[in-house]
Amino acid sequence: MTDKWPDEEGFISEGEIVSLFKATGTIAKGKLVYLTGDLEVQQAVLDCDPIGVALKDAVNGDYVPICIHGICKMLAGAAISRGKAIKSDANGKAIPLSDQAVNEGGSANYTIYYARKAGIALQAATGDGDYILAFVCK
């Protein structure tokens, strides 16, 4: 496991938007989360619509700070190229969000999954377990 910003705990620079949410399950620091109710979150799963990154560990019922916009540390679940869009894997880790082919000719139907995008990788991850800096944004 490589931590590419080892001196920092969670969010990196001023200007982030961090809010407290109630955990509805166990959440690990550095993993993506998604809404399960009004101001309630749990660790993200594959193809969900993540809203941010947990800045602390939490268990069911805890209030946990979530970076919902800005630069923060995130745990990668696969190799990720810097500058690429990211989404959640089945365990709340960041993985690449593949570009989607779009047929502009109008002969095919398609869905664009804007809500699945969690942000942009600011550093490359070599594989599962790397911590990278990412810009959390929709």
User: Tell me: the pLDDT tens digits for 19-71?
Assistant: 999 999 999 999 999 999 999 999 999 989 999 999 999 999 999 999 999 99
- The whole domain housing 106 covers 17-136
Across the chain, the runs of DSSP E, i.e. the strands, are 17-23, 32-37, 40-43, 50-54, 63-75, 85-88, 94-96, 119-121, 131-136
Whether residue 4 lies inside any domain: the answer is no
Are 68 and 19 in contact, with CB atoms under 8 Å apart? Answer: yes
Whether residue 7 lies inside any domain: the answer is no
- Number of independent structural domains in the chain: 1
- Kindly report the CATH number assigned to the domain that includes residue 35: 2.40.300.10
Q: Residue 123 has what pLDDT?
A: 94
Whether residue 107 lies inside any domain: the answer is yes
Whether residue 125 lies inside any domain: the answer is yes
Confidence label for 99 from pLDDT (cuts 50, 70 and 90) = confident
Whether residue 71 lies inside any domain: the answer is yes
Q: Residue 7 has what pLDDT?
A: 58
Question: Structure pTM?
Answer: 0.86
Token pair for 72:
């923060």
Are 20 and 65 in contact, with CB atoms under 8 Å apart? Answer: yes
What single DSSP character describes residue 123? Answer: S
Are 27 and 75 in contact, with CB atoms under 8 Å apart? Answer: no
Whether residue 12 lies inside any domain: the answer is no
